[in-house]
Structure 1
Amino acid sequence: MNLRFVEAFYWVASLKSISRAADKLYLTQSAMSSRIATLEEELGVLLLDRRDKQFKLTGAGVRFLMYAEKLLELQREVKAEMGSGEAMAVSMRIGAIESVLHSWLIPWLESLRTEHPGLELELTVETTPILVDQIQRGTLDLVFAVLPASADGVRNQALPTMDMVFVGNPQLHTKRSYKLSELASMELLTFQKGSQPHVTLLDLFRQHQMEPKKVHAISSISAMVQLVQGGFGVALLPRAAVERLTGFAPLRPLSCDVKLQSLPIHASYRTDPATKTVETVVRSAMRFAQQQGHAPKRRPSKAISGKPVTSKKSMM
């Protein structure tokens, strides 16, 4: 029995789609269909119910899925036993929100490349809803987003939360500390409507029975940074991202008289019985994020000066 055909069936069943499984394994749909048909011929049973447009496994398909997972796990164990010293060589598709990108993602990827030089990465930076949809559909292997994903074969791991901070222009915002009522009179910048920072910011003012002057929804950290530089308003950003921007943009974290809700971060990933690569990468990310969270924080300077940051896109 060809284990590549078994793997093809496993992903078709897990992702509930021949086309998505084909994308996962870098095959054409016709090649994927051919592998499933050959496997069915060898087993002497139909694994997919093709009578309905909606994806469905036959009774035999449901039973064989359990065997397929065991076969792929056994293959992984054999490879590990017979070639345990080999470097990990596999392609991984990783997605992240821009808050993670601007905080610890890049140094972590650099560290990961050192630990596993055979690892080939595909990186996507998107909003949480898009990333959750992509991990559920199987177009990404691992995502770092605000919300956990919910789907068969997807696991979630909570990572350290991110402290949020108001950020202003050091030439315009010179006070040692600001009251929430003072910030309410300014034009505020936060992530797109419906995002966790946007919702919690509005809730914060409601809880204190205040109405902010304006809340601009900006789906890009680089755009918010440049708007703050231009004196457009005050932005709500992850503190770690602001610290990473040191030396690139004139920014000043603003002390506030109320506590801001932290940004939750979750790692969502698809399990693969044929390899433990994803689990290894998730453990690496978890360790790195925890180290960043426990590392001594630099005291923010009054001004962060330098050249403006440019970034293709952002998100929350």
Structure 2
Amino acid sequence: MNLRFVEAFYWVVSLKSVSRAAEKLFITQSAMSSRIAALEEELGVLLLDRRDKQFRLTVAGMRFFNHAQRLLALQREIKSEMGAGAQRAVTLRIGAIESVLHSWLIEWVQHMREGNPDFELQLTVETTPVLVDQVQRGALDLAFAALPTVGEGLRSRALPSMEMVFVGHAQLHRKRRYALADLAALDLLTFQRGSQPHVGLIDLFRGAGIELKRVHTISSISAMVQLVEGGFGVATLPLAAVQRLAGRLPLKPLKCEAALPPLPVHASYREDPSSSVAQGVVEAVLAYVGAPPRHRKNR
């Protein structure tokens, strides 16, 4: 039995789509359909109900899916034990929110490349709702977002949360310490409406009984940074991102009487019985992000 055909069937069922499974395995939709047809011919049963456009498994397909999971898990176990999985090229479709991109993702990718010269990256930078949807649909192998992705066959791990700070222009915002009332009188810039930083900002001032003057919602850190640099208000950004940018831009974290809620980060991926790559990458990310910054490049 050709295990590539078994793997094709596994992903068609897991993603409930021939086209998305083909995208996952980097083959054409027609090639994917041919693999399923060849598997059905070998088994002598229909695995997929093709009578209409709605995705359905046959009774035989449901039974074989359990066998497929065990076959692929056994294949991975054998490769691991015999050493066949060592030094393989790694291709990952990774998605991340902007906060992760501007804080540690680039350095981690460089670190990952040092230990895996054949590492091939396909990077998508999007908002959390978009990333969650893409992981659920199988368009991404791994996503770093503010919310975990939930669903059948999906796994999520919490990463260290990010400290959020108010950020102003180094020459324009000179107070030693800002009260919430001081900041409320300024133009405040934060992430898109409904995002965790936006909700956290609103709740912070609402809890203090302070009315905000204006809150501008912007999905791009680069845009927020340019606005602050131009003297247009104060932004809420991850401290790690500000520390990376402050060396070349006139930005500084503002000391405040109250702290913004930290930004949670979750790594989400789909369980793959044929490979532990995504899970291994998550473990590597946890080890990297959890290390003190001065030690990261030497890990």
- 1:170-181 alignment runs, 5 A limit: 170-181=170-181
Aligned residue pairs total 296
- 1:57-68 alignment runs, 5 A limit: 57-68=57-68
Q: Is the 8 A contact 2:142 2:269 kept in 1?
A: yes
> Runs of 4 or more off by more than 6 Å in structure 1?
293-296
Instruction: Name 1:36's counterpart in structure 2.
Output: 36
Instruction: Name 1:16's counterpart in structure 2.
Output: 16
Matched, 1:71 2:79: no
Q: What's the secondary structure of 1:109's corresponding residue?
A: helix
The C-alpha deviation readout for 1:53-78, integer Å capped at 9, x for no partner, is 22121111111111111111111122
Tell me the distance in 2 between the aligned counterparts of 1:34 and 1:85.
Answer: 27
Please give the TM-score of this superposition, normalised by the length of structure 1: 0.90
* Partner AA of 2:48 in structure 1: L
Tell me the distance in 2 between the aligned counterparts of 1:29 and 1:137.
Answer: 16
Instruction: Name 1:54's counterpart in structure 2.
Output: 54
Matched, 1:266 2:263: no
Instruction: Name 1:144's counterpart in structure 2.
Output: 144
Tell me the distance in 2 between the aligned counterparts of 1:237 and 1:187.
Answer: 15
Moved more, 83-92 or 147-156: 83-92
Instruction: Name 1:106's counterpart in structure 2.
Output: 106
Tell me the distance in 1 between the aligned counterparts of 2:160 and 2:54.
Answer: 39
The C-alpha deviation readout for 1:224-247, integer Å capped at 9, x for no partner, is 111001110000000011011132
Instruction: Name 1:94's counterpart in structure 2.
Output: 94
Q: Shift of residue 117 of structure 1?
A: 2.2
Tell me the distance in 1 between the aligned counterparts of 2:135 and 2:292.
Answer: 25
**Structure 2: tracts of 5 or more residues without a match:** none
Instruction: Name 2:246's counterpart in structure 1.
Output: 246
Tell me the distance in 2 between the aligned counterparts of 1:84 and 1:26.
Answer: 21
Instruction: Name 1:308's counterpart in structure 2.
Output: none
Q: Shift of residue 272 of structure 1?
A: 1.2
Shift in CA distance, 208/107, structure 1 to aligned 2, threshold 3 Å: same
* Partner AA of 1:88 in structure 2: R
Tell me the distance in 2 between the aligned counterparts of 1:271 and 1:117.
Answer: 25
Tell me the distance in 1 between the aligned counterparts of 2:295 and 2:201.
Answer: 27
* Partner AA of 2:98 in structure 1: E
Shift in CA distance, 246/148, structure 1 to aligned 2, threshold 3 Å: same
Tell me the distance in 1 between the aligned counterparts of 2:266 and 2:85.
Answer: 31
* Partner AA of 1:291 in structure 2: A
**Structure 1: tracts of 5 or more residues without a match:** 297-316
Q: CA RMSD in A?
A: 1.6
- 1:126-275 alignment runs, 5 A limit: 126-275=126-275
Moved more, 84-93 or 140-149: 84-93
